[in-house]
Structure 1
Amino acid sequence: MNSRRTFIKNVGIAAAGAIVLPSFACTPAKAKPVGLQLYTLREVIGKDVKGVIEQVAKAGYKEVETYGYSAQGGYWGLDAKAFKSLLDANGLKAPSGHFGLDPFIKDGNQDDLKINIEGAKGIGMDYLTVPWLGENLRSSLDDYKKVAARLNEAAEICKKSGLTLAYHNHDFEFKKYDGGTGYEVMLQETDKDNVKFEMDLYWVVRSGNDPVALFNKYPGRFPMWHVKDMDKAKPSINTEVGSGSIDFKSIFKHAKQAGLKHAIVEQENFSMDPFISIKKSFDHVNHDLI
């Protein structure tokens, strides 16, 4: 958790299988692909982006979610065109990417937002996803109301470029202020048609909340999920999907209510080779959850 937060702060950015919704339950072909958040492989992707992408595809994944894009470095040293070509060569799509939005949320400066939009459009994304909020932006419910207003503004700008804005949670959004939480403020005060949410199931469960209750209260707002399992002995760390304590089968039954379109594996720490790990998670989601 700390390494992720530190990384996001320093770099300025910062599961899972895609599932077959109930209406597809009896079809032999899988209606949804399985995705991987590439932050999972952050220790190796910068050293060999081509080799890592090839390994992700060999593990069975059909989608990836990016992080860390910048105008200077592109996607791990590749510009958007070259990275898209690499994905295409491996039968992969990138429907979403994580792009930091703190400068815009703080003062409305659109410079970084426009750069991020260009990066997202360059590889054919559908969603520009906000992965994190700096601590200085979220110390009260009033702060979250300001965040929600900025998200609405950013969503309108994204919409003009053919993108949908989404927000990815951690656990801090569930801190209570006078009985309310920042997460509910954002859900209630953002345009339900323009602002979507990428629910990180691990963080929702770890914070003591129920994903299904949120799906029922805010139907259709959660087209993306991070499917990340919780270690049974040490809840502060992750484990391979299907090996931990989260009851994904019960959650996945409510995919239609949530509006799920993309389920994306993510794991932040490993007790085995990361490529073996992502294959185990893929196999569980692909064979047991869809």
Structure 2
Amino acid sequence: MPIQRRAFLKTSTLLTSGLALGLVNSNLLGCKPPTSKTPSMNENFGLQLYTLRDDLPKDPKGVLKQVASFGYKQIESYEGPQGMFWGMKNTEFKKFMDDLGMQIISSHCNFNENFEQKADEAAAIGMQYLIAPYLGPHKELDFYKKAAEQFNVCGNICKQRGIRFAYHNHDYSFKPVENQLPQDVMMQMTDKNTVDFEMDIYWVVTAGQDPISWFNKYPDRFRLCHIKDRMKNVPAGVGDASTTLGTGVINFTEILNEGRKKGLQYFIVEQEKYEGTTPLQAVKDDAVYMKNLKLA
């Protein structure tokens, strides 16, 4: 049975394994985020490989060759049934990416299991980020405070290796818990020098929030984003409504233009539903949309 990204990361909600809180000084200055000129998004956009979760495990190299042929230059991996590097060693995977003209920028991973080893492997091949993809909804704010502490530990582990740590949101962190938004709590309690955030624009919109207001509220904290469209004529709050880019309701031109002004650097396509199409065709169509997206 394939290991789905969210399923295996349910264990992360326990916050109990591997990394002992307090062993690393969370006040250390972290490695700074990339300071190079903001890349042209029309040329340097990425793909979250979870989009191809049904195809990739069957033929990783063959599917990745197709991804490259569609025009993607960057990828964000996840810990699927064959690990972050899809059955290859990290160095072998990097060479394969180089041969395809692509770069692995980041990966979602279980940050509570063998995290130092994952950070070593990521740093060795020039990756920029390891990312916590999911915590799950919880009724007590203290859970998210403890998560923020854990993120600081992970951030310092990454900092020591010259890479960065980030957290990827869903909608639950934008819903009040004890009269506060968990997203606010996690952003305020994490060290900006070592912990960044990956805004999943789809989930922010699904939660009824305005992505631009969050870019303005926390400038230079959202360094990556997931570009994922939301179906038209779907009731507010419904989660399972992903669709091909350009066919939904989200105004990515406005959102991404503002995000880039506030430090957004990596633009990663993701799609989770494929009505009337296939995952690979959707990925191809999404690439066409990204190449033609009008930006200021």
Question: How high is the TM-score relative to the length of structure 1?
Answer: 0.84
Specify which of 237, 242, 245 is matched with residue 238 of structure 1: 242
Deviations 1:228-280 (A, max 9, x none): 00011335321111110111122022023331111000001212022221121
* Residue 61 (1) aligns with residue 61 (2): no
Identity over aligned residues, as a percent?
41
Gaps of 5+ in 2: 14-36
Q: Verify the 8 A CA contact 2:199 2:224 in the aligned structure 1.
A: yes
Match of 1:16 in 2: none
Match of 2:143 in 1: 143
SS in 1 for 2:272: coil
Structure 1 consecutive aligned stretches of length 4 or more whose deviation exceeds 2 Å: 3-12, 29-32, 233-236, 255-258
Tell me: CA distance 1:56–1:41, structure 2 relative to 1, closer, same or farther (3 Å).
same
SS in 1 for 2:95: helix
Equivalenced residues, count: 264
Match of 1:41 in 2: 52
Q: Residues 266-277 of structure 1 correspond to what in structure 2 (within 5 A)?
A: 266-271=270-275, 272-277=277-282
Larger RCO (alpha carbons 8 Å, 6+ apart):
1
Choose between structure 1 and 2: higher helix proportion: 1
Tell me: CA distance 1:267–1:8, structure 2 relative to 1, closer, same or farther (3 Å).
farther
RMSD value, Cα: 2.4
Q: Residues 272-287 of structure 1 correspond to what in structure 2 (within 5 A)?
A: 272-287=277-292
Q: Verify the 8 A CA contact 1:248 1:289 in the aligned structure 2.
A: no
Amino acid at match of 2:167: Y
Match of 2:129 in 1: 127
Match of 1:6 in 2: 7
1:194 and 1:24 mapped to 2: Cα distance?
A: 20
CA apart distance, 1:139: 3.3
Deviations 1:69-111 (A, max 9, x none): 68x855221111111111111000011110112x3xxxxxxx6
CA apart distance, 1:283: 1.2
Match of 2:227 in 1: 227
Match of 1:76 in 2: 86
1:96 and 1:183 mapped to 2: Cα distance?
A: 21
Amino acid at match of 2:119: I
CA apart distance, 1:121: 2.1
Match of 1:116 in 2: 118
* Residue 214 (1) aligns with residue 214 (2): yes
